[in-house]
Amino acid sequence: MVRTEPLPPELRAQNLEIEEIARSAGLDFFQVIFELLDARDVNALAAYTGFPVRYPSWRFGMEFERLDKGYSWGLSKIYELVINNDPTYAYLVRSNSQMEQKLVMAHVYGHADFFKNNIWFQPTERQMVSVMADNGVRVRRYIDTYGQETVERFLDMALALDDMIDPYLPLREHRKRKAPVKRRATPLERARRSLDATFAGRSRPEPEKEPNREAPSPERPAADLLGFLMEAADLPEWQRDILHIVRSEAYYFVPQRMTKIINEGWASFWHSRIMTRSLLGASDVVDFADCHSGATASQPGQLNPYKLGIELFRYAEEKGMDLFRLRAVHNDVSFIDAVIDEEFARRSNLFLYQRNPRSGRMEIADRDWRPIKAQLLSSLTGGGVPQIELVDADHEGRGELCLRHHFDGRELQLDQAGETLKQVARIWKRPCHLLTQAEGSPLRLSTDGEEISRVETAEAAEDAAEGGDDRLAG
Amino acid sequence: MHRIERDRSRFRQIVRGRLRKDLRKYLSSTELLGRRGDKAVSIPIPQIELPRFRFGDNSKQGVGQGEGDEGDAVEGEAQDGEGAGTAGDQPGQHILEVDVDLKELAEMLGEELQLPNIEPRGDRQLSTEGGKYTGIRPTGPKSLRHFRRTYDRALRRVIASGDWDPAAPKVIPVHDDERIRNRKSVNKPESSAVIFHIMDVSGSMGREQKDVVRIKAFWIDTWLRSQYDNLEVVYIVHDAVARIVDQETFFHLRESGGTKISSAYELFLDQVLERYRPEEWNIYPFHYSDGDNWSARDTERCVGLLRDEILPRVNQFCYGQVKSAYGSGQFKKDLDGALGEEEKLITAAVDDRDGVPEAIRAFLGGGV
């Protein structure tokens, strides 16, 4: 671990007080463990997305470089990090003022409650700290065996596809699995399982394969491309395992991507409430207001999830909605759908902006709440990444993959799509195709992993159109 | 946290093109906009963005929050994901590039470059530098007392004398027990090196060409001076005749005339024979020209001089040729043709300013 230390007595006392207030307000969380770190270490942890034990990759170094420079030039500062885990780990920055530490701790309890109770987090791995450590160990072992560059190249390929998963899959699976009464394994069973795992050469059993998975087809498209490749591609075991690692980590993070606004809104709502109702001394008020408004400020033209989220919760409370229920059942999309109405849009000064083709600049285009809401919903759907599904794993009987981009009016960046498709083809080891649209006409990208060809096809048009219909119907 | 340092240094090495050259094409430099005093500054942040399925720019519209009427411009376009940067809030303001760039360039040069084939030579081989407290002696200032050793001796003495009582373990060092740290000086071998910058200032070298040469010479010069203590630098300019000038003149001179490269090589050779004898000096000549020599006869003479007289005496001879509208660029071809086999001869072509770093790398890359 990093250099951490138990909280100094004063903070510890404060923590106990805040925990008590949070509980009596109705928040419900796993045990929260706070640790105090230097800003640099927090930046390093944040670069590792909160886990100090991840596999080696230049990507984390790149992220650290950005955070570190931002910090040393006084441009950005991380106040806190919370890890969805049981127990929940939270890191405080040593340089925070007393008031900031209080605010941050209250904020953390909001997140901790959200992690434990929001339905999208129910299927997440709650022992992620040790899973990540395991994954790191295995990747390091592969590096020792096959060389850093070889492993890194494959890892880069897999990471290019890490949003090619089905955000709704874990919850479906979770519900299916929930049906039989959950029984805790006896110590003997656990020991046996870990022994088996050791002999199988991996420290963690693979998730059970779904026995009833049918071959993807235009009628049954598969959004979990990574899962498909992991199971069906012809790969050496270590590469399959890397796909497994990338996929499991992606599934762990996907609920956080889907609940950015509601999660930050919930935590901000609670830090504000706890601070202003119970904790704030007279001497802290100005500092608190300064810090709080800094976190919830909006740049013109930008949407701050903290600000939008807290306003949504406050509005919902005003309207007499059950806040605890809201935080339990919604993700960003359904939350916004449930709460935003005409009054909210007007009060929160929401607007729709578009590029004005004549002046070339971004301009406020509309203040009517319906298009605003529609735009918000569509931009958040699928976590803001293009929806691409596998529609055929044996395209024209040649064992080639056919992917379809669910076209919603937003075009793909074609150069990058072609390059990414190449990665798919390299993993699959057969040609791959992608159906999409560009400049209003349907298009098929095809690649064998080396060359890319573009064909405008009527066929692609039909497929894409069908895809749209499927989506709406489903 | 040492792990992140490893990942960071790997990232930096990729950015500098030493590893994973396949990633170079995805390298871009974004910037953080900051403020230093009342000035806006831009802090460059290198980023490698691998291709993935993402939306293109064509579909940009979004939702924002704030005051304004329909048709008002929105400043600071919304971005997906979070950015640590803050958008500039005052349009039309001049933004300074922070000196980070320069510092990092110097750092990069420092990490990557070295004088190739340097050997310890000359009589000024030893220099004393600093020293370290690695020695031990029985006397000296108390402030340098080596506590552990002192205690160790005291403990031995107490036990040996039979006074040791485990119930009341009291150890009091006496004067004899004391051990004091002692400074030992470290001798570092030092190499003497001399750099010759030779520049063609003839008429065919246009302003741009001279600038490119000067940028290149400036960097090589700056870097070498910062790295090597015992470094002498000689500046030679030539058109049809060659002469030695000082640094100031070298970087600011404008001249015109014919080109006779052999004149410079002869002057260089004189200097080597008279003042910087190869037994005592590491010798590194850098010659910059547009490659347009006066006559083929003179080029032949240059090749002869290089092969028979110069190359055997120097550590490495670097020839950098700048592209010019008038120049034929023939000289580099002639050198490569006649002396391509010579390991000590490095030639590099520089098309424009952007090519300077590559050329410097070719010269000082240390055979990487």
Q: What is the pLDDT of residue B79?
A: 35
Q: Any chain B CB within 8 A of the CB of A72?
A: no
Between B343 and A402, residue with greater pLDDT: A402
Q: What is the pLDDT of residue B46?
A: 79
Nearest to A418 by CA among A441, A445, A391, A395: A445
Mean pLDDT of B148-153: 91
**Considering chain B, what is the average pLDDT of its residues?**
75
Going by DSSP bridges, is the β-strand pair B193-200/B231-238 parallel, antiparallel, or unpaired? parallel
Going by DSSP bridges, is the β-strand pair B180-189/B126-137 parallel, antiparallel, or unpaired? antiparallel
- Site of tokens 């490269």: B261
Nearest to A379 by CA among B53, B63, B195: B63
Q: What is the pLDDT of residues B295-305, one digit of tens each?
A: 888 888 888 89
CB contact under 8 A, B51 and A419: yes
- Site of tokens 């605890």: A324
pLDDT of B264 over the 70 cut: yes
Range list of H helices, B161-315: 207-227, 247-252, 261-274, 296-304
If residue B72 lies in a helix (H) or strand (E), which one and from where to where? none
Q: Give Cβ neighbours of residue B179 (< 8 Å, ≥ 6 apart).
A: B136, B137, B138, B145, B146, B149, B150, B153
Instruction: Report the 10 Å Cβ neighbour count for A390.
Output: 24
Plot region of B310 (φ>0 → left; ψ -120 to 50 → alpha; else → beta): alpha
CB distance A362 to A301 below 8 Å: yes
Range list of H helices, A31-147: 39-47, 58-72, 98-117, 128-146
CB contact under 8 A, B45 and A65: yes
* Segments in chain A below pLDDT 70: 1-5, 178-215, 218-219, 299-301, 458-474
CB distance B56 to A413 below 8 Å: yes
Nearest to A254 by CA among A350, A122, A140, A365: A122
Mean pLDDT of B35-50: 69
Q: What is the pLDDT of residue B189?
A: 57
**DSSP 8-state assignment for residue B22:** G
Between B175 and B2, residue with greater pLDDT: B175
* Nearest chain A residue (CA) to B61: A354
Distance (Å) from the C-alpha of residue B64 to the closest C-alpha of chain A?
A: 4
Nearest to B138 by CA among B174, B182, B175, B179: B179
Angstrom CA distances, B277 to A110, B110, B214, B280, stand at 76, 28, 27, 6
Mean pLDDT of B41-62: 76
CB contact under 8 A, B52 and A152: no
CB contact under 8 A, B63 and A420: no
pLDDT confidence bin for B220, thresholds 50/70/90: confident
pLDDT of B2 over the 50 cut: yes
Q: Residues of B with CB below 8 A from A72's CB?
A: none
Between A192 and B39, residue with greater pLDDT: A192
CB distance B166 to B131 below 8 Å: no
Q: What is the pLDDT of residues B222-242, one digit of tens each?
A: 777 766 667 788 999 888 888
Q: Which amino acid is at A457?
A: T
* Nearest chain B residue (CA) to A158: B52
Instruction: Report the 10 Å Cβ neighbour count for B89.
Output: 12
Q: What is the pLDDT of residues B329-340, one digit of tens each?
A: 788 888 888 887
Distance CA A337, CA A349 (A): 17
Distance CA B50, CA B320 (A): 35
Q: What is the pLDDT of residues A148-189, one digit of tens each?
A: 999 999 999 999 999 899 888 888 888 887 655 545 566 666
> Cα A261–A263–A267 angle (5° rounding)?
115
Q: What is the pLDDT of residue A322?
A: 95
* Weakest-pLDDT range from B70-79, B242-251, B307-316: B70-79
CA dihedral (A279, A282, A283, A284) in degrees, to 10, reads 40
Q: What is the pLDDT of residues A222-268, one digit of tens each?
A: 889 999 999 999 999 999 999 999 999 999 999 999 999 999 999 99
Angstrom CA distances, B48 to A49, A66, A458, B51, stand at 18, 12, 36, 10
**What are the two backbone dihedrals, phi and then psi, of residue A97, each rounded to the nearest 5 degrees?**
-75, 170
If residue B88 lies in a helix (H) or strand (E), which one and from where to where? none
- For residue A150, what are its two tokens? 């070889």
Please, which residues 135-164 of chain A have a Cβ atom closer than 8 Å to chain B? 149, 152-153, 156, 159-161, 163-164
Q: Any chain B CB within 8 A of the CB of A417?
A: yes
* Nearest chain B residue (CA) to A370: B63
CB contact under 8 A, A410 and B51: no
CB distance A107 to A91 below 8 Å: no
Angstrom CA distances, A402 to A221, A237, A425, B145, stand at 10, 25, 10, 76
Nearest to A332 by CA among A396, A265, A267: A265
CB distance B216 to B254 below 8 Å: no
The predicted model scores a pTM of 0.65
pLDDT confidence bin for B40, thresholds 50/70/90: low
